[in-house]
Structure 1
Amino acid sequence: MRPILRRLLPATVPAMVLVLFFAFPIPSAVASELAEAERLLKQGQAPQALAKVETYVAGKPRELQGRFLKGLILMEMNRPSEAITVFTQISDDYPELPEPYNNLAVLYARQQQLERARMLLEMAIRTHPGYALARENLGDVLLRLASQSYDEALRLDPGNKGMQAKQARLRELNVAPSPGAIR
């Protein structure tokens, strides 16, 4: 079965970077600087990629592509609080873009802040109704919230066979009640 939020980092870092580069045309000099950081990231050299992006962003603090790549690198480096800061600033500056909301939702879901993740995914979908990844992630978060609700209901009414059956079906989808279920 598919794990919750299975399409998230690190597997999607290169794809997310490419989507960002194709979605927003950028000058070739900028593209080469950021492409070098992306190459370093793909090669598993996240600290070097971050250093390159931070140097770039220092000279262009409001530039979208560099900031977005910085957030992705911080996610890859398991520095969630810094990544949250980056993606929050991007979503404040570009509220029409769904990707920062999706990435924030991923970060909050990893911290078991599922209601906050749900709200951010709904925001991503409001800004771009056709954003399939945000819809998939929202479904996964809702499944996890449902599992938590059934767990609590079963704690209150342990003999309820209907809830036991529903929880069993959720477990078949790999929506385990453990905190590590969201990836």
Structure 2
Amino acid sequence: MTSIQSVQSGRIARAFSVALLCFASFAARADDYTDVNRLVQARQYDQAMAKAEQYLAAKPRDPQMRFLKGVILAESGKRAAAIEAYLQLTQEYPELPEPYNNLAVLYAQQNDYDKARDALEGAVRANPNYATAHENLGDVYARLASQSYAKAQQIDPANTSAPPKLALVRQLLAPKR
């Protein structure tokens, strides 16, 4: 697993936690969110989804529970459905940075760094002070740089400036031990 992918998985949970704080004004429904969150943390995805779906049957436009549903889908391996859930949230609630961030994580896991970059730029537009999105954007730019340096080296094996840059970026992206 690449460093972006392994680091990004943890960022889904962090973005999820940030989203809970952003939606704190919905205290009356906090028990439902807390219950779903607890089930997700316990990796009881079927139960979490059932509770989220039950909640959304009554309040289908609730952005926080829809975000949690995206988290459940992503964590349970249903990435295409999670991408769709986050895309819908970014279209309906473009002011929320967390769906963009989680969308970027999923794109990065698919090695689609151009889409990941675009999603993270959306997160930063929505909240210029969202540190996780800035860090993730740096990771994506590093991955794109690695691909470009590798391509330059492939096209021109005599190129002496690309290999040290590629090595440096690969070192940056290497998993921490």
Contact 2:113 2:140 in 1 (8 A): yes
Pick closer, same or farther for the CA change 1:155–1:111 going to 2, 3 Å. Answer: same
Which residue in the other structure is 1:91 paired with? Answer: 90
Matched, 1:59 2:58: yes
Which residue in the other structure is 1:48 paired with? Answer: 47
Contact 1:117 1:141 in 2 (8 A): yes
Which residue in the other structure is 1:141 paired with? Answer: 140
Deviation at 1:7, TM superposition (A): 4.0
The DSSP-based 3-state class of the residue aligned with 1:149 is helix
Letter in 2 for 1:54: E
Which residue in the other structure is 1:4 paired with? Answer: 4
The residue correspondences of 1:27-46 to structure 2 (distance < 5 A) are 27-28=27-28, 30-46=29-45
CA distance in 2, matches of 1:14, 1:113: 21
Deviation at 1:14, TM superposition (A): 4.8
CA distance in 1, matches of 2:144, 2:11: 24
Deviation at 1:126, TM superposition (A): 1.3
CA distance in 2, matches of 1:12, 1:138: 12
Cα deviation 1:38-90 (Å, max 9, x = unaligned): 11111121121111111111221101111011011111111111111111111
Letter in 1 for 2:74: M
Structure number having the greater helix percentage: 2
TM-score by length of 1: 0.87
Deviation at 1:135, TM superposition (A): 0.6
Deviation at 1:147, TM superposition (A): 0.7
Deviation at 1:101, TM superposition (A): 1.0
Pick closer, same or farther for the CA change 1:129–1:113 going to 2, 3 Å. Answer: same
**Aligned sequence identity (%):** 45
Cα deviation 1:2-28 (Å, max 9, x = unaligned): 92255433x345543332222121143
CA distance in 1, matches of 2:135, 2:90: 20
Contact 1:150 1:163 in 2 (8 A): yes
Contact 1:5 1:140 in 2 (8 A): no
Q: How many residues in Structure 1 have an aligned counterpart in Structure 2?
A: 173
The residue correspondences of 1:109-124 to structure 2 (distance < 5 A) are 109-124=108-123
Letter in 1 for 2:111: Q
Which residue in the other structure is 1:178 paired with? Answer: none
Contact 2:16 2:98 in 1 (8 A): no
Structure 2: give runs of 5+ residues left out of the alignment: none
The DSSP-based 3-state class of the residue aligned with 1:112 is coil
Pick closer, same or farther for the CA change 1:91–1:45 going to 2, 3 Å. Answer: same
CA distance in 2, matches of 1:16, 1:166: 31
Structure 1: give runs of 5+ residues left out of the alignment: 176-180
CA distance in 1, matches of 2:18, 2:151: 40
TM-score by length of 2: 0.90
